[in-house]
Structure 1
Amino acid sequence: MTTLAQRHETFQTLHADGCFVIPNPWDIGSAKVMQALGAKALATTSAGFAFTLGRPDMGHVTRDEALAHAADIVANTNLPVSGDFENGFADAPDDVAETVRLAAEVGLSGCSIEDTMMEDGNPAYPFDLALERIKAAVSAAGAVGRPFVLCARADGVMNGSYDTADAIRRIQAFEQAGADLLYVPMPPGMDELKQVVDSVSKPVNALVAGPFAAHGFEEFAAMGVRRISLGSAVARVTHKALVDSVAAICSDGDFSLLKQAASGGRIDRMLSAPATPDA
């Protein structure tokens, strides 16, 4: 039996040394399958969860919905879980702090906060406000009274708001503010990712999606990446199978892609593994 306290300790330890992969489930079933396949920890995906609600990514899920979803993952697996909480569902630092407090309350072992505004074009918060938001999040995480890994994200490179140099300036400030983990999703390439890793002393998360999927685990580990997340990539792979197979069936009457279906018995066995809802 794994208690929540043990999960929180495990999550903190995972970030202390080496490199590990944290897959991103979008519902209870995908979380249980990922656990059965050997995941050491899980992180929710805002996009993947939004898809299950029939909504697009970025700003279309409420804080209450995201918290309830994360609580479901915690209750139905035995792994540490981190929450992908976009911009903290708020602009004001105090409201971001409240999101962190609520994240801990539902049993999460950590969460991430982006510097992205949830409006058209997803611009970045101005530097000073972005830093104040992380300072407030750090203060809330420190008040939890047990391990809670706060990940501070600089998403402007991915969203086209600023360049790698500005991202590095931001994560260095986030590190000084006390963030436990730094994250610059989708820098231009591996060289820039290495610059990100070398620019801070705290652990760095790397997103493996798009062109980064051409590189193997050992390459990321060798450059000093501490944590590898998959974001919505696995959810999107699943949706590609949905789109490709149903399009072929509806357009051409072609059922051949159904031959690639996973074994029902294998999935059933993974979903039957008991979880440990505990305090």
Structure 2
Amino acid sequence: MLTTADKRAAFKKLHESGCFIIPNPFDVGSAKALQHLGFKAVASTSAGFAWAIAKADNRVTVDDVCDHLAAISAAVDIPVNADFEDGFAHEADKVGVNVARAVKTGIAGLSIEDFTGDNSKPLFERELAIDRIRAARQAIDADNSGVLLTGRCEAFLRGVKDMKLVIDRLTAYAEAGADVLYAPGISTPEEISTVVKAVAPRPVNLLVGAAGPSLKIAGDLGVRRISVGAALARTAWAGFMKASKEMAEQGTFAEFANGYPGGELNKMFS
């Protein structure tokens, strides 16, 4: 097994050139499967993990998440990036305390978003949002951990499609210490290239869900990292719910024919 320091060094190296996919497992088994398939790093998903423990997205606790991150980090021999939501606090100093705790789980990176949790006023005030990134940076650097910090501007994802605001925030987050910048919800080539150019040379993470550019196209636009959020979890739940509804509503079992072979799963986890 690689050491935590090895994983963090490898994660940093991945961000130096090219474009890579960082898929989002929702439990230890899915994380190990993604490693088996050859992915060089994985990232947690707040929604996927929440559903796996029968909670809604944004309803998990910092205790839940830190236990989850520690379990995944210990299970795989590749770097783990944490979806650390809003840092599980509003105040910058409390975000710093929670980030320091997350660093101890063995992760190689984490993201802090500026979503307030209130759809009527979705973004933290600009200065507070910057202070929160700065506090996360200080917590990461306190023990020279080498964890990469991603600053997320949630504007597009929350219906605030203001590119000037997004660029202003992302560049401010970079100045406050974010290593990677992320604006989930941008999707067109124009939006993507605008963000990439605005924050260069800092790397950009792109969220791709049901549709989006290929790895090659995203790389040509200057994207460094592609994550898929809760898409893998939703896909897994789709198969489960379709088969379960067939049993409940029709009393038949035809959907089981689409299941992944148990023997192959046993080989993968042996």
For the criterion TM > 0.5, the same-fold answer is yes
The reply on whether 1:13 has 2:13 as its aligned counterpart is yes
CA contact (8 A) 2:179 2:203 kept: yes
Q: What is the root-mean-square deviation in Å for CA atoms of aligned residues?
A: 1.4
Pairs within 5 Å for 1:1-279: 1-58=1-58, 60-121=59-120, 123-201=122-200, 202-212=202-212, 215-272=213-270
CA contact (8 A) 1:124 1:161 kept: no
* Residue identity matched to 2:12: Q
The alpha carbon displacement at 1:243 in A equals 1.7
Equivalent position of 1:277 in the other structure? none
The count of aligned residue pairs is 269
Distance 2:114 2:143 in 1: 22
* Residue identity matched to 1:148: V
TM-score when normalising by structure 2: 0.95
Question: Which secondary structure state, in structure 2, belongs to the residue aligned with residue 211 of structure 1?
Answer: coil
Question: Which secondary structure state, in structure 2, belongs to the residue aligned with residue 133 of structure 1?
Answer: helix
Distance 1:163 1:269 in 2: 48
Question: Which secondary structure state, in structure 2, belongs to the residue aligned with residue 69 of structure 1?
Answer: helix
Question: Which secondary structure state, in structure 1, belongs to the residue aligned with residue 211 of structure 2?
Answer: helix
Question: Which secondary structure state, in structure 2, belongs to the residue aligned with residue 186 of structure 1?
Answer: coil
The alpha carbon displacement at 1:144 in A equals 2.9
The alpha carbon displacement at 1:255 in A equals 2.3
Distance 1:23 1:188 in 2: 18
The alpha carbon displacement at 1:265 in A equals 1.2
Gaps of 5+ in 1: 273-279
Distance 1:222 1:83 in 2: 26
CA contact (8 A) 2:189 2:221 kept: no
The alpha carbon displacement at 1:120 in A equals 4.9
Distance 2:170 2:7 in 1: 27
Alpha carbons of 1:188 and 1:13: their partners in 2 closer, same or farther (altered >3 Å)? closer
The alpha carbon displacement at 1:165 in A equals 2.0
CA contact (8 A) 1:22 1:228 kept: yes
Distance 2:18 2:146 in 1: 19
The alpha carbon displacement at 1:220 in A equals 0.5
Identity, in percent, stands at 39
Q: Which is worse superposed, 227-236 or 95-104?
A: 95-104
What are the superposed Cα offsets for residues 19-46 of structure 1, whole Å, 9 maximum, x if unpaired?
Answer: 1111111111111111111111111111
CA contact (8 A) 2:119 2:158 kept: no
Distance 1:268 1:16 in 2: 36
CA contact (8 A) 1:103 1:110 kept: no
CA contact (8 A) 2:97 2:139 kept: yes
* Residue identity matched to 1:4: T
Alpha carbons of 1:56 and 1:169: their partners in 2 closer, same or farther (altered >3 Å)? same
What are the superposed Cα offsets for residues 141-180 of structure 1, whole Å, 9 maximum, x if unpaired?
Answer: 2223132100000011101145222111100111111210
Distance 1:2 1:73 in 2: 14
Distance 2:104 2:120 in 1: 32
- Runs of at least 4 residues off by over 6 Å: none
Higher relative contact order (CA 8 A, sep 6+): 1
